[in-house]
Amino acid sequence: MIDPFTLALILIVALTLMGASVGLAMIAGSFVYLIFKGFDPSIASETLLQGLFNNYTLLAIPLFILAADIMNIGSLADRLLRFAQALVGRFRGGLGHVNVVSSLIFSGMSGSAVADAVGMGKIIINLMTRDGKYSKSYAAAITAATATVGPIIPPSIPMVLYAIVSDQSVGFLFAAGMLPGLLMALMMGVMNYIMARRHDFPVDEVVPMRDLPGITWKALPALMLPVILLGGIYGGIMTPTEAAAVAAFYALLVSALFYRSVSFKDFYQALLGSARSTASVGVLVAGAITFNYVITRENLPVSISEFLGQYELSRFWFLIVINLLFLALGMVLEGGAILLIIVPILIPSVRAMGIDLVHFGVIVVVNAMIGLITPPYGLLLFITANITQQPVGRIIRDVWPFIIALLVALMVITFVPDFVLFLPRLLGYQG
pLDDT in tens, 160-184: 889 988 889 888 999 999 999 999 9
With respect to residue 6, please indicate whether it lies within any of the assigned structural domains: no
pLDDT in tens, 19-31: 787 788 888 888 8
CA distance 241 to 232: 11
pLDDT in tens, 35-85: 888 877 776 666 666 665 566 667 777 887 787 777 767 667 677 777 877
With respect to residue 398, please indicate whether it lies within any of the assigned structural domains: yes
Look at residue 375 and give its three-state secondary structure. coil
Asked if the peptide bond before residue 180 counts as cis, ω within 30 degrees of 0, the response is: no
> Does residue 241 surpass a pLDDT of 70?
yes
With respect to residue 290, please indicate whether it lies within any of the assigned structural domains: no
With respect to residue 26, please indicate whether it lies within any of the assigned structural domains: no
For 127-141, 186-200, 411-425, which range has the lowest pLDDT when averaged over its residues? Answer: 127-141
- Give the mean model confidence (pLDDT) for residues 145-149: 89
For position 405, what pLDDT does the model report? Answer: 95
With respect to residue 48, please indicate whether it lies within any of the assigned structural domains: no
For position 355, what pLDDT does the model report? Answer: 93
With respect to residue 29, please indicate whether it lies within any of the assigned structural domains: no
With respect to residue 22, please indicate whether it lies within any of the assigned structural domains: no
Domain that holds residue 395: 56-285+299-426
Structural domain count, the chain: 1
> Does residue 323 surpass a pLDDT of 60?
yes
Kindly indicate the confidence band of residue 305, based on its pLDDT and cuts at 50, 70 and 90: confident
State the average pLDDT for the chain.
82
> Does residue 139 surpass a pLDDT of 80?
yes
With respect to residue 147, please indicate whether it lies within any of the assigned structural domains: yes
